[in-house]
Amino acid sequence: MSGSEGDFAPSDIEPIGAMIAVAFTGAVIGLVGAGVAFFVGDLGLALIGVGAVVALSSPIAYVRLRRLRRS
């Protein structure tokens, strides 16, 4: 890690770690959407959809990254 304990550079994050963070963020957005759906239906469904798209983009990016590294 570069710098002090609390500082980090973007280059310190490996691509796989970034993809895990994106997938986790998408899951959290989807879960928040599921909770909100009980009170505000349309907003909840929109958040669930956005969360699913974000969470599923991470595995797709991982597959593309592996293909690029093989070439």
| Model pLDDT for residues 24-71, shown as the tens digit of each residue | 999 999 999 999 988 988 999 999 999 999 888 888 877 887 787 776
| Residue 67, C-beta contacts closer than 8 angstroms, at least 6 positions apart | none
| The two structure tokens encoding residue 26 | 């998408």
Note the pLDDT of residue 28.
93
Tell me the pTM.
0.68
pLDDT at 1: 46
Neighbour count for residue 47 (Cβ, 10 Å): 20
